[in-house]
Amino acid sequence: MGMMMFQKIKSHFATDDVEVKRNDLYKVGIRRDRLVELIHMLRDEYGFKTLNAITCTDWIEEGHFALTYMFTTLDRKHTFMIQTMVNRENTQIKTFSHEFKQAQIMERDLHEMYGINFIGNENLKELSLENWVHTPPLRREFDTLEFVNNNLTFREGRDDNVDTKAESKRLRVLKKAKKDADKKEAAKKAKEEAEAQKSKEEEVKDGE
Amino acid sequence: MENGFLLEQKTLEGDLNSDTSHKSSVDFLMNWFRKRSIFVLAYGTGCGAIEMPPTFTSRYDAERLGIRGAATPRQADVIIVSGYCSYKTLRRIIRTYEQMSNPKYILALGSCTVNGGMYWDSYNTIKKLEDYLPVDMYVNGCMPRPESILEGFIALQKEIGEGKASSWQKYEENYEFYRKNQEAVLGEKVEPSYAADWYLYDGGL
């Protein structure tokens, strides 16, 4: 878990994308065809034996998914994130369900939510959806609001079916304007009071 | 002068015993039995289920009003749809509801069952429960506290006492309407596979 490991990864896998995020959290970006090799090396030589999670990020502008495999050591003190890019369309990637049993259900979930095909995984049936025929719901081209408007009916009177960002911005501007007006008024009042006090004092002086 | 628990009990039950709209004394008696022995199915469908244990246990003690739990749908009178209702849950609720014997009532908790609540733009949560199942009483709030749930129950008991709560008849009369709405979101096969099928044969875990 030191500089040696990073140097070995850098030289062996010809990547510069090695990052120490925290003193117990590391990240490496790797090409897809070297993924298995790297994971085997980390598992066998450096003790990253537990697969904690497989996460997916949808980079729709770049046209790829970022798959991140998170591994920890057995004493749970060090975490390694291994990130690889896969194509968004007709995504195919080899399964890890034979080396890591827990990968089976993680991959099933990713298949359901993003439509990624894990070759070699025996059971990629739907996990939490049932009879889903539309675009996988967590892909970014899936427009949730449009889907809801097409498929479900809202109760009458529910008119906050609007852009919440614009609405909150409008409310913020209103609030700020009110605050400014209050401030101005308070300043004006204070000024008036001060003037009144002054004139009073002058009157007293004149009286003397 | 009453105070504390007795006052609360009196306030809650205030107009429960004063219904006069019954047709005959047999009707009155039947409705009185029904409203004073409500068996609630022990079934939580969303986050609102967390408010049900305090309602039925010692602090709020719903049993003093004749409301208590039932183990299976066939023995239950009331099903509480407690909170957001996803497609997957809706299938189970429909099956459970159809297994219950008449008379049966639905109490819907939380803003999610009223209009979608905070899940108003979610792709797998229904927005209006009464499109799919007949609802007797809505209790709004996110989440409703046990006090609100008790008030909802009292309102339901009052309707039962007056013979007005008849949603199960409505469901039978307008079955086609409900079935059409159910099929619109759930597809042709509305009823879910049994858990054993799902676990052993249908892909399983």
The alpha carbon of residue B139 is apart from the nearest alpha carbon of chain A, in Å, by 16
Cβ under 8 Å to A: B residues 162-201:
184-187, 189, 192
The sign of the dihedral angle between the CA atoms of B43, B46, B52, B53 is positive
- pLDDT, one tens digit per residue, over A157-198 is 656 556 777 888 888 999 999 999 999 999 999 999 999 998
pLDDT greater than 60 at residue B204:
no
Give the containing element (helix H, strand E) for B205.
none
Can you tell me the mean pLDDT for B155-159? 89
The alpha carbon of residue B86 is apart from the nearest alpha carbon of chain A, in Å, by 9
pLDDT greater than 70 at residue A128:
yes
| Helices A35-46 and A3-13: angle between axes, nearest 10 degrees | 150
Q: Does B36 touch chain A (CB under 8 A)?
A: no
**pLDDT at residue number B142:** 86
**pLDDT at residue number B201:** 57
Q: Which amino acid is at B24?
A: S
Can you tell me the mean pLDDT for B130-148? 90
Higher pLDDT pick, A120 / B205: A120
**pLDDT at residue number A66:** 93
**pLDDT at residue number A186:** 93
**pLDDT at residue number B18:** 66
State the best of A130, A138, A158, A167 to mutate against chain B, taking most chain B CBs within 10 Å: A130
**pLDDT at residue number A121:** 87
CB-based contact A155 B189, cutoff 8 Å: no
CATH homologous superfamily for A3-139? Answer: NADH:ubiquinone oxidoreductase Nqo5 subunit (3.30.460.80)
CB-based contact B120 A148, cutoff 8 Å: yes
**pLDDT at residue number A187:** 93
Quote the percentage of chain B above a pLDDT of 70: 90
How far is it, in rounded angstroms, from Cα B84 to Cα A197?
62
The interface predicted TM-score (ipTM) is: 0.78
Chain B residue nearest residue A128, CA to CA: B88
Domains (range + CATH), chain B: 38-200 (3.40.50.12280)
CB-based contact B205 A155, cutoff 8 Å: no
Q: Does B27 touch chain A (CB under 8 A)?
A: no
> End-to-end CA distance of chain A, in Å?
88
Can you tell me the mean pLDDT for A9-36? 85
How far is it, in rounded angstroms, from Cα B22 to Cα B161?
8
- pLDDT, one tens digit per residue, over B183-196 is 888 888 887 776 66
Chain B residue nearest residue A126, CA to CA: B203
pLDDT greater than 80 at residue B85:
yes
pLDDT greater than 80 at residue B130:
yes
Name the residue among A105, A129, A161 with its Cβ closest to that of B120.
A161
Tokens describing residue A35: 């993924």
**pLDDT at residue number B66:** 87
pTM: 0.76
Question: With contacts defined as CB-CB under 8 Å, which chain B residues touch A160?
Answer: 120
Q: Does B115 touch chain A (CB under 8 A)?
A: yes
CB-based contact B123 A130, cutoff 8 Å: no
Can you tell me the mean pLDDT for B121-130? 88
How far is it, in rounded angstroms, from Cα B59 to Cα B53?
10
**pLDDT at residue number A111:** 92
Closest to A68 in 3D by CA, of A87, A53, A47, A90: A53
Q: Give per-residue burial for A56-87: e unless 16+ CB within 10 Å, then b.
A: bebeeeeebbebbbbbbbeeeebbbbbbbbbe
Can you tell me the mean pLDDT for B55-62? 88
How far is it, in rounded angstroms, from Cα B5 to Cα A175?
45
pLDDT greater than 70 at residue A61:
yes
**Number of separate helices (H) and strands (E) present in chain A:** 5, 7
Closest to A27 in 3D by CA, of A14, A16, A38, A18: A18
**pLDDT at residue number A152:** 87
Question: With contacts defined as CB-CB under 8 Å, which chain B residues touch A129?
Answer: 87-88, 124
Higher pLDDT pick, B142 / A16: B142
CB A139 within 8 A of CB A58: yes
Closest to B126 in 3D by CA, of B182, B55, B174, B65: B182
Band (pLDDT 50/70/90 cuts) for residue B197 is low
Can you tell me the mean pLDDT for B107-114? 90
The number of C-alpha atoms within 13 Å of A6 and in the hemisphere containing its C-beta is 15
Burial of B195 (0-12, 13-18, 19+ CB in 10 A): exposed
Tokens describing residue B111: 């803003």
CB atoms within 10 A of CB A106: 21
CB-based contact B91 A142, cutoff 8 Å: no
Residue ranges of E strands in A79-171: 79-87, 92-94, 117-119
**pLDDT at residue number A57:** 93
A to B CB pairs, distance under 8 Å: 54
Closest to B152 in 3D by CA, of B126, B118, B114: B114
**pLDDT at residue number B22:** 64
The residue ranges of every structural domain in chain A are 3-139
**pLDDT at residue number A185:** 93
Partners of residue A82 on adjacent β-strands? A28, A69
Closest to B48 in 3D by CA, of B119, B123, B133, B121: B119
pLDDT greater than 60 at residue B88:
yes
Q: Which amino acid is at A39?
A: I
**pLDDT at residue number A56:** 93
pLDDT greater than 80 at residue B14:
no
CB-based contact B128 A153, cutoff 8 Å: yes
Torsion over CA of A138, A140, A144 and A146, rounded to 10 degrees? -150
Partners of residue A83 on adjacent β-strands? A29, A68
Order of strands, edge to edge, in the sheet holding B78-82? B67-70, B38-41, B78-82, B105-109, B137-139
The alpha carbon of residue A90 is apart from the nearest alpha carbon of chain B, in Å, by 23
CB-based contact B91 A158, cutoff 8 Å: no
How far is it, in rounded angstroms, from Cα A109 to Cα B59?
41
pLDDT greater than 60 at residue B203:
no
Band (pLDDT 50/70/90 cuts) for residue B202 is low
**pLDDT at residue number A175:** 93
How many Å separate Cα A26 from the centre of its chain?
18
Query: In chain A, helix, strand, coil percent, each to 5?
Result: 45, 20, 35
Is residue A141 helix, strand or coil? coil
